[in-house]
Amino acid sequence: MEPLWKLLYLLEPAPISLIVTAVGVTYGSAFRALNYGKEMERNRDLSEASIMLDRSQALMIPVMSSFSLLLMFYLFSSVSQLLTAFTAIASVSSLFFCLSPYVAYLKAQYGLADPFVSRCCSKSITRIQGLLLLLCSGIVAAWLVSGHWILNNLLGISICIAFVSHVRLPNIKICAMLLVCLFVYDIFWVFFSERFFGANVMVSVATQQASNPVHTVATSLSLPGLQMITKKLELPVKIVFPRNLLGGVIPGGSASDFMMLGLGDMAIPAMLLALVLFFDHQRSRDSVNLLDVHSSKGHKYIWYALPGYAIGLVTALAAGVLTHAPQPALLYLVPSTLGPIIVVSWIRKELGELWDGPTPSLLNDKGRQIEV
């Protein structure tokens, strides 16, 4: 156990950046999910509706996650280039999804003409959408070439936001079931996997770098500028910050040079936040606003869950500093986010409604707009 004064490290730029980014991404993912749900309801676009998880699907998440973890633990070197290619495609799609609302806002604000120019996958593509797709592809290409941690974080954040927007939980009952299962999952793979597999599976997978297929192709073709292309990549399944953030750690450094947080440690709590934000919206006749912190019955649930997430994350980082060992973040994040929601809803006598899930459709709220 390290002395308590070591906790002063949490005031360094890297931990603060990690905490602020994680809290912002978690809340932003939940808010984007609400916006996306309203947009789909308003447009009656069922082809792009979010997936609502049922109990069996929720229970399969930790099972499939464990299977994927073992697959990458034993076969990562064999499938890393395939994973990189798949991740690149997913990153382009996620980045396009995240930037589209801002492009639509600018188009409406300045009255830009945007004619249809093509069709792809049974959908029409406008000129501005085509340019946005090229921009997203360019960003992913820059990541493939440089492997820079900022681009890695940008892509990881976009994947997190897209996932939370497209995969929803119907009620606290299924949410609690999922969180408890992932709570056990995280503890086992971080603390106990070494006893069964000879190494810490979670840490081994999280710190592995994937082979860069772009570098492989460039090498086989003897293309010029080969030295500019990174051989190894951190896949955007986590956000990373150089421990010596102001010192400018260069890409390609060892994993120990970076602080990291898995996307699951943001996406899973964000699914809970999206659920309670949806519930807050249903319970309030006012528009949902980033600065609106009161509902008709006291504070909104989102403002109990979000500080809980921040407290849990700080606690996880503090435990890591004091024990000098990897920590399962969900060990701290699940109680600190789910706990306040359960307690507050029980005090307000709204636990039953949250437990079974809100029934009114967002479609009934046509007159209400989301203010950003």
Q: What is the DSSP letter of 239?
A: E
Q: What is the reported pLDDT for 296?
A: 42
pLDDT band at 126 (very low <50, low <70, confident <90, very high): confident
What span, in angstroms and rounded, lies between the C-alpha atoms of 265 and 292?
A: 26
Catalytic residues: 186, 265
DSSP for 28-59 reads HHHHHHHHHHHHHHHHT-GGGPPEE--HHHHH
Position 365 scores a pLDDT of 45
Q: What is the pLDDT of residue 5?
A: 82
| Residue 41 amino acid letter | E
Q: Identify the CA nearest to 205 among candidates 239, 235, 232, 228.
A: 235
What mean pLDDT is predicted for residues 7-22?
Answer: 92
Q: What percent of the chain has pLDDT over 90?
A: 56
Rounded to whole angstroms, the Cα distance separating 139 from 322 reads: 38
pLDDT in tens, 313-372: 999 999 999 988 889 999 999 999 999 999 999 999 989 989 987 554 443 444 343 333
Token pair belonging to 60: 């399969």
What is residue 243's DSSP assignment? Answer: T
What digits encode the pLDDT tens for the residues 19-78? 999 999 999 999 999 989 888 777 765 545 678 899 999 999 999 999 999 999 999 888
Residue 124 and residue 184: Cα distance in Å, rounded? Answer: 45
Contacts 24+ apart (CB under 8 A), 244-253: 244/14, 245/12, 245/13, 245/14, 245/17, 246/13, 249/149, 251/146, 251/147, 251/148, 251/149, 252/147
Between CA 117 and CA 123 the distance in angstroms is 11
Give the pLDDT of residue 261. 94
**93 residue type, one letter:** S
- The pLDDT of residue 37 is 85
| b (16+ CB within 10 A) / e for 14-26 | bbebbbebbbebb
d(CA 96, CA 154): 12
